[in-house]
Amino acid sequence: MLIVAGITLKSLEPRVWDASSSYFLPDLQAVMISYADIHQFPRMRQRMMDNGIHATLNIPGKIQIFLDNGAFGFSRRGVETPTNEYEEFIRQAKPYWRAVPQDFIPTPNMTLDEQDECLRRTMLVNTAYDYDGYVPVIHISRVINDYIAQMKANENLAAKPCLAIGGIVPNLLRAPKSLTHGEILQSLINLRREFADKQIHVFGIGGTSTLHVAMLLGFDSVDSSGWRNRAARGIVLLSGSGERTIVPLGSWNGRKLNATEMEQIAECFCPACRKFGLEGLKSQTTEGFRIRATHNLWILLEEQKWISENLNSGDYINAYSGHLNNSTYLPLIRYLIENKTSI
């Protein structure tokens, strides 16, 4: 499964794709940019259209660039998604992967009618852009089975090689009125089976435990901006153990590292920790942010490798519970192992 690192144009540091940087992560293969971000920088947008995204951002050509439509960012600012400009940008800048120009995101606490309305409006966009490499988007909600049926009923959409799904994490975290875990996982297993031939991307995976869920479900790629926004709050990821606050920043009051975890992280082998050590991770400077962000992304990439190796060797079923310490996702992972014959 491909890990797509969410980035922001407001600051391209740490340049984890740059072989000359202290923060270089050679295993990184793809990044995701939001169009909401690009739209805020008209001159940079134009340069991307004239010279390509890689050249403008000085990102090596081998790194795949995924483009999210930014619908979430635009709606949060109360702005209508500029679909024409999005299309124009895609025609000229040619990102490797791009979502349809707009989708209407249901929240777990919406009524059934409201979720139905999100489905109707999103499917209108999916249908209008059933050509030219646009990736249709569907959402985990109480109407997920209607999404699947409508996608399959449309010949052009059914023939698309790719599909993206949003809303997994908020639903797995059980917001009010959300589905039960069993219902969500069963609908995801069903979705994977119904679209067995498609490359399925999952939007917005958070930390390491959700990687296990996505990989057990057989999804092809996930994106996460968690490596950066956790770093900004002074939070570091730990392999198999979720996340801990290493330096209290802002109003965020997360769980702190205990002595054993502090020892574990002091021995971290990521490029940033090897160079800057524990003091670097704890630093409140901009460099501290870069060190934590690099560390966090490295942990995600390593976790993906661990899961992949253990699934391939057949050891996963014996190793996962020892690897995932006290994860709230353990029952979900157990459910997937018990209900999915391919594992």
Q: Where do contacts with Zn ion occur on this chain (CB under 5 A)?
A: 268, 270, 273, 295
Rounded distance between C-alpha atoms, residue 295 and residue 289, angstroms? 10
CB contact set of 16 (below 8 Å; sequence gap of 6+): 5, 23, 24, 25, 28, 293, 294, 297
Question: Between 82 and 271, whose beta carbon lies closer to Zn ion?
Answer: 271
Distance between the two ends of the chain, CA-based, in angstroms?
A: 15
Nearest distance, CB of residue 270 and Zn ion, angstroms: 3
Nearest distance, CB of residue 210 and Zn ion, angstroms: 20
Nearest distance, CB of residue 268 and Zn ion, angstroms: 3
Closest CA to 17 of 228, 297, 325: 297
Q: Are 184 and 172 spatial neighbours (Cβ–Cβ below 8 Å)?
A: yes
Question: Between 103 and 302, whose beta carbon lies closer to Zn ion?
Answer: 302
Nearest distance, CB of residue 298 and Zn ion, angstroms: 6
| Strands 235-238 and 97-99, bridge-based pairing | unpaired
Question: Between 54 and 295, whose beta carbon lies closer to Zn ion?
Answer: 295
CB contact set of 233 (below 8 Å; sequence gap of 6+): 245, 249, 250, 252, 254
Helix or strand or coil: residue 199? strand
Nearest distance, CB of residue 63 and Zn ion, angstroms: 21
Question: Between 80 and 267, whose beta carbon lies closer to Zn ion?
Answer: 267
Question: Between 230 and 295, whose beta carbon lies closer to Zn ion?
Answer: 295
| Strands 235-238 and 242-245, bridge-based pairing | antiparallel
Question: Between 59 and 270, whose beta carbon lies closer to Zn ion?
Answer: 270
Q: Are 140 and 171 spatial neighbours (Cβ–Cβ below 8 Å)?
A: yes
Question: Between 23 and 86, whose beta carbon lies closer to Zn ion?
Answer: 23
CB contact set of 139 (below 8 Å; sequence gap of 6+): 103, 105, 106, 118, 119, 122, 147, 165, 166, 167
Nearest distance, CB of residue 246 and Zn ion, angstroms: 11
Phi, psi of 166 (to 5 degrees): -120, 170
